[in-house]
Amino acid sequence: MRYAESILEMIYKSDAHMTAEQVFLALKQQYPSVVLATVYNNLNSLYQQGKIRKISLEGYPDRYDKLTRHDHLFCRRCGKLSDIYLSDITGELERQIGFSIEGYDLKIQYFCPQCRAEQRESNSVYESE
Amino acid sequence: MRYAESILEMIYKSDAHMTAEQVFLALKQQYPSVVLATVYNNLNSLYQQGKIRKISLEGYPDRYDKLTRHDHLFCRRCGKLSDIYLSDITGELERQIGFSIEGYDLKIQYFCPQCRAEQRESNSVYESE
DNA sequence: TCTAGAAATAGAATAATTCTAAATTGGTGG
DNA sequence: CCACCAATTTAGAATTATTCTATTTCTAGA
């Protein structure tokens, strides 16, 4: 795992929700010989060890994220993902469920301001269902 | 949208978190001429109209689900997805965030009892990190 | 009945991810 | 210092899910 440390650091320093491809491109700057499959190997291994998060978004490639507690806003229209810091509900969940959990992903669906505006526009012309 | 009603009904009657492929196979029983692309078209259109949920799981194809409020338990090891009924926190989220949302997906990561057992087994032989 | 628009079909294309096999690396004991 | 082993990386093929394009079929209204 020659690259695991660099990848981990990269993910923790950024809040860009990087895809494997993006991690690959960034890593390539430092290690030009690295290939995409290696990045996938490393990311999967880090994920399995529970050192990073993996975020699946419908219609977009998987993204990797730090474990640092935070939640996500996901725009249903343009797919934009942003961080939002809400209080940690792990304890509450465990109490309700009755056993311990590894964590949770809270993805809040909304329409970002921009998409909201564009939607209003199109509605004013044709009244869609 | 000849099939939209059937698909919607199928999703609402089942709690199997069906993939597009599974919906396709089930629909084929009734309409042998239907093709997978049509199922994708219908599912996407239903999703865009906000009539069904789409669940993305890392490493598995997308699944479709009813809107009926419920949350998910996702086994980090075997990928099994099960429903869990926790109280609706939409109002609370909106209050914390300050604007209205379309909904939310709460995916709780855990190790299911079976995987928990298997993990204990392997740990008893080799102490892994 | 004719026409237009919407949806379905067929199958090719794309994109993300995994897999396989071979080469490389790093560490260990002789 | 060398040989060996296991783990990792590399290269590129393969797989899988999903979308796209072009063509055909369907349906409702003129």
Count other C-beta atoms under 10 Å from residue B73's C-beta. 19
Residues in chain A with pLDDT values less than 50: 123-129
Domain A1-67: CATH architecture, name and number where available: Orthogonal Bundle (1.10)
- Distance CA(A83)–CA(B55), nearest Å, equals 19
User: Among positive and negative, which fits the CA dihedral B6, B9, B106, A117?
Assistant: positive
- Give the per-residue pLDDT at B128: 36
Smallest CA–CA distance, residue A31 to chain B, in Å, is 27
Query: Given CB atoms, is A125 within the 8 Å cutoff of chain B?
Result: no
CATH class of A69-129: alpha beta
Tokens of B87: 């109280």
Domain locations in chain A as residue ranges: 1-67, 69-129
Closest CA to A20 of A4, A2, A44: A44
pLDDT tens profile A10-39: 999 988 899 999 999 999 999 999 999 999
Residues of A numbered 84-123 whose beta carbons fall under 8 angstroms of chain B's beta carbons: which are they? 84, 86-87, 93, 96-97, 99-111
Hey, are the CB atoms on A101 and B86 less than 8 Å from each other? Answer: no
pLDDT tens profile B55-65: 988 888 999 99
Q: Which residue has the higher pLDDT, B128 or A64?
A: A64
